Amino acid sequence: MHASPRLERLVQRESAWCLRANRACARQRVRAYFAAVSRLGDGVFWYALMAILILVDGREGLAASAHMAATGMVALLMYKGLKRWTRRPRPFASDGRIRAWVAPLDEFSFPSGHTLHAVSFTIVAVAHYPALAWLLVPFAASVATSRVVLGLHYPSDVLAATAIGTGLAFVSLWAVPVHAFM
């Protein structure tokens, strides 16, 4: 089955965006920044945040961390299932001009697990601690951007993960409102 000409053009445009973004990593500082952000987004940043919340804010920090962890477990199941179902190749695997500047954690591209977790964790954490928005929102945006710049995801992988992560976080906050922890 052949894709429609409109879909083919969309895929070509998305690959062109990936290539443009990926070329930014030719500059060492850009590559180092996004590689570090990506590594922190593997979980290190979020685990450290959860530990700090517990140490600094006791029971309330534990409640917020448990809320984040539960949301993260659902996110993990969702993105792994979607990756197995869609089996979309990563940009560097589909276009030899795009370079993977860091090693991917798995084989497939859609959706971006890093972005899905960053968005859902940010929304849940900020619901518990609004003062953290100044730190978490730019970090989550950097994680999302890193996935395209490093050649690991298409922009649509990141946009879909943002939508899924947002929806998941809001369902989580609806199911277990922050005031339920207080």
For residue 24, the model assigns a pLDDT of 87
Residue with tokens 């984040």: 68
Q: Is the pLDDT confidence value at 6 over 80?
A: no
For residue 93, the model assigns a pLDDT of 86
Q: What is the dihedral of CA 112, 40, 97, 81, to 10 degrees?
A: -20
117 closest CA partner among 66, 149, 70 = 70
Q: Between the CA of residue 106 and those of 32, 79, 92, what are the distances in Å?
A: 21, 11, 13
Bond from prior residue into 5 cis (ω within 30 degrees of 0): no
For residue 56, the model assigns a pLDDT of 95
CA 69 to chain centroid: 15
Kindly state the DSSP code that residue 108 receives in the 8-state scheme: B
Tens digit of pLDDT for each residue in 136-167? Answer: 999 999 999 999 999 999 999 999 999 999 99
Kindly state the DSSP code that residue 90 receives in the 8-state scheme: P
Tens digit of pLDDT for each residue in 73-121? Answer: 999 999 889 888 988 888 888 888 888 888 888 888 889 999 999 999 9
Domain assignments of the chain as residue spans, ordered by start:
5-181
Q: Would you place residue 179 in the very low, low, confident or very high pLDDT band (cuts 50, 70, 90)?
A: low
For residue 54, the model assigns a pLDDT of 96
For residue 124, the model assigns a pLDDT of 97
Topology at the third CATH level for domain 5-181: Vanadium-containing Chloroperoxidase; domain 2 (1.10.606)
Tens digit of pLDDT for each residue in 9-54? Answer: 777 788 888 888 888 888 999 999 999 999 999 999 999 999 999 9
For residue 8, the model assigns a pLDDT of 73
Q: Which residues pair with 89 in a beta bridge?
A: 108
What is the Cα–Cα distance from 116 to 139, expressed in whole angstroms? 13
Bond from prior residue into 138 cis (ω within 30 degrees of 0): no
Kindly state the DSSP code that residue 96 receives in the 8-state scheme: T
**Residue 79 in tokens:** 């993105």
